[in-house]
Chains A and B, each alone.
Chain A
Amino acid sequence: MKFVDEFRDAELGQAVAGEILSLVEPGRHYKLMEVCGGHTHSIYKYGVDDLLPVNVELVHGPGCPVCVIPMGRVDDGIALAQIDGVIFTCFGDMMRVPGSDGSLLDAKAQGADVRMVYSPLDALRIAKQNPEREVIFFAIGFETTAPSTALTLKRARAEGVSNFTCMCSHVTIVPPLRALLESPDLRLDGFIGPGHVSTIVGARPFEFIPADYGKPVVIAGFEPLDILQAIAMILRQLAAGASSVENQYTRVVPYEGNRRALEVMAEVFELRPHFEWRGLGFISHSGLKLSDAYADLDAERRFGVPGVRVADPKACQCGEVLKGVIKPWECKVFGTACTPERPIGTCMVSSEGACAAYYNFGRFAREREVV
């Protein structure tokens, strides 16, 4: 495919992999977190980690929007989906995420009208096609998807679509990063910054990471070559003892972000005082809800949700896995109570979560060599 194949070129990949090898200090172990689930996906899809020396370890961060939704929030969604006459719409991945008693897919099998959509506009279209039904959109995602939800709500308002509401579970990227960085037992050396989120928020919000914590951040695109190049840039900073925010993804990310998108978000959303993350617990000012001006389009206010709080199982150590403190297999429930078929924590929910990945593919990472 034009404009994409260049970034998937195996020869160029080998060249950057060689550069990475030359930047690695023998005997030193590097833990780099790719913050965004999109990066994790590319890393698996293209086998990027297979091209790294084994002492360069990638830790999958909290940036998988589906995995971070806590059980209670899934239960709330199911409660809305089960209201008579409601069409509940959500992204496909969200349907499999387990709540305390089954997933949205299970609710669908029991008769709830749960439909998969690819964008919030699809949900709005369903609302217009079914004026006699209430259509709820389960909005999830970071700053990447929040603007499209905001625009959809503005359009619903402008077109006077009265049977459309949104259950807002959008989250923001900086607070969980700060929470990770604040933990005294953190073992990360640098961050691959989230490219898509940064197209909206820009690079500036990540400046606190080098400034306050002395860790390099390189904002990266999503093609395998982007990721390898970002890793090389981080290693170069580490080798020089430097730390700053660099932008590998200049072809898309402006340093100041997308002002228009930020304005729309500011109009439609406001920060929740705190929001619960699966595996990470409550994090202040990390979630978005609809602003008072959009209260009438807020499913939680129109229907009321149980507001279920389901505590993460005590034995689950997703937080420690995310911080790089323990390996997936060191968690007490890994592979026994918590498996990909019956996941407990965020890291096992998505096939790209750190634990699910280790469960399925872990043995092969072992075949790489250490420098």
Chain B
Amino acid sequence: MSTPPISDREQKILGIIETARGKRARFRDEQITMSHGAGGKATQTLIEGLFVPAFGGAALAQMADAGAVELGDGPGIALTTDSYVVKPLRFPGGSIGELAVNGTVNDLAVAGARPIALSLSLILEEGLASDVLRAEVDAIAAAASAAGVEIVAGDTKVVEKGHADGMYICTAGVGRRDRRATLSPSGLQPGDRILLSGPIGEHGTAIMLARDEFELDATVESDTCSLWPAVDALLDAAGPHLRCMRDATRGGVASVLNELARASSVSMLVQEASIPVAPAVAGAAEILGIDPMYVANEGKLVAFVAPDGARQALAALTAVPGCEDAVEIGEVRTEPPGMVLVQTSFGGRRVMDQLVGDPLPRIC
């Protein structure tokens, strides 16, 4: 047995592809389409090809979920912002208000910062029922209290009927950077273990079913929740061994893995059979032809841990309420850099690529 030879010409073509892949994404599209907001390849061209070159500080270039701001000698703070345009406003397991708190809290948490305070901007559509607004304000207050953050500033705008679909919410969050770990998207090392905090695809599936476009009867609830308790436990158990964490929102776990494989120039091998997916989520994904690995979560994190700390990290994670099903799903490797491979449950191996296009717009 031997590997078939590669001709010079094929080698040259492979070289061209390699170079093209390695290049920083360029933003060349003539207009914005829905896929620029989907968290996949098009979003990446926008960030890497337009935003980072324009604003290009060191903190932004890290492309973490929250940016680090140094303050004197202390560990400094982390700052993040997010906007919420989910449709419908309420769905099983949560609502736009709850997302607006947890989503921003989670961006701080996975950046290794204890969430402290949020700002809240509301963009409301003329004619919105006050009861709808009141319900979201209650949801925001409850989620903030559960996550231990305070809403310290806000703004309200109203736009004409026909815009903003009821309401859009923007929150910014500030957190205190935690000294227990030094996290970086480019810090992954071959051998690192990949941990996942629980079953995937619930938020995206819940929204999809709530839109009632598919006439599927299934009860799936969004997993929206604060990830700080999970992060806190990981920092305690394996702080120095933690390389990076991400919450697997738009684009799902697959997008997180691809982003970090590129950022650290490593490859990853994921065991498909180890990934927990609830039967209702798996069933809906099967029917709609969607891979749960690309479906959004709002309360799941992926953590990359040095092998020496992986066991303690997983034990600590599974002890956190809501993370009982946390598992190790794979490991970081060297070849081929920038790519994520999956060992399928059927036994074959394939590439799990970045998301192209938008399977489901306005999910958060």
Contact = CB atoms under 8 A, between A and B. Distances in A.
Interface string A99-131: 000100110111000000010001000000000
A293 to B, nearest CB: 30
Interface in A205-251: 224-225
Contacts of A339: 20
B33 A108 contact: yes
A1 interface: yes
A96 B16 contact: no
B161 interface: no
Contact of A370 (B1, B16, B17): B1
A225 to B, nearest CB: 8
Given A10-B346, A46-B348, A51-B347, A362 B14 contact: yes
B263 interface: no
Contact of B6 (A44, A110, A366): A366
A106 B357 CA distance: 12
A161 interface: no
Interface in B1-56: 1-4, 6, 9-10, 13-14, 16-17, 20, 30-35, 41
Nearest to B31: A109
A105 B34 contact: yes
Contact of B214 (A51, A118, A327): A118
Contacts of A360: 351, 353
B32 A109 contact: yes
A61 B143 CA distance: 52
A14 B347 contact: yes
Contacts of A274: none
A329 interface: yes
Interface string B320-355: 000000000000000010000111111111110100
Given A329-B9, A366-B3, A8 B346 contact: yes
B286 A118 contact: no
A335 B286 contact: no
Given A335-B13, A370-B3, A1 B346 contact: no
Nearest to A361: B351
B158 interface: no
Contact of B286 (A4, A95, A110): A4
B33 A329 contact: no
B305 to A, nearest CB: 27
A1 B1 contact: no
Given A46-B344, A48-B346, A106 B33 contact: yes
Given A46-B346, A370-B2, A1 B33 contact: no
Given A54-B4, A118-B288, A364-B351, A340 B356 contact: yes
Interface in A310-338: 327, 329-330, 334-336
Contacts of A366: 3-4, 6
Contact of B16 (A1, A48, A105, A335): A335
B279 interface: yes
Nearest to A223: B346
B17 A359 contact: yes
> Which of B3, B288, B342, B346 has most A Cβ within 10 Å?
B346
Contact of B359 (A44, A50, A92): A92
A240 to B, nearest CB: 25
Nearest to B283: A1
A369 B1 contact: yes
A28 interface: no
A317 to B, nearest CB: 14
A306 interface: no
A260 interface: no
B303 to A, nearest CB: 26
Given A361-B350, A364-B349, A109 B33 contact: yes
A369 B41 CA distance: 32
A368 B4 CA distance: 9
A92 B214 CA distance: 14
Contacts of B151: none
Nearest to B356: A351
Contacts of B349: 47, 50, 364
A50 B6 contact: no
B20 A335 contact: yes
A225 B283 CA distance: 19
B282 interface: yes
Interface in B279-319: 279, 282-283, 286, 288, 291
A279 interface: no
B16 A336 contact: yes
Contacts of B341: 364
Contacts of A105: 33-35, 357
B217 interface: no
B31 A106 contact: yes
Nearest to B11: A329
A300 interface: no
Contacts of A330: 9
Nearest to A327: B10
A45 interface: yes
B4 A370 contact: yes
10 contacts: A1-B286, A10-B345, A47-B346, A92-B357, A95-B357, A106-B30, A329-B10, A364-B351, A366-B3, A370-B2
Q: What are the 10 tightest A-B residue pairs by CB atom distance, in nearest-first order?
A: A47-B348, A50-B348, A46-B346, A47-B350, A369-B1, A10-B347, A329-B13, A109-B33, A47-B344, A361-B351
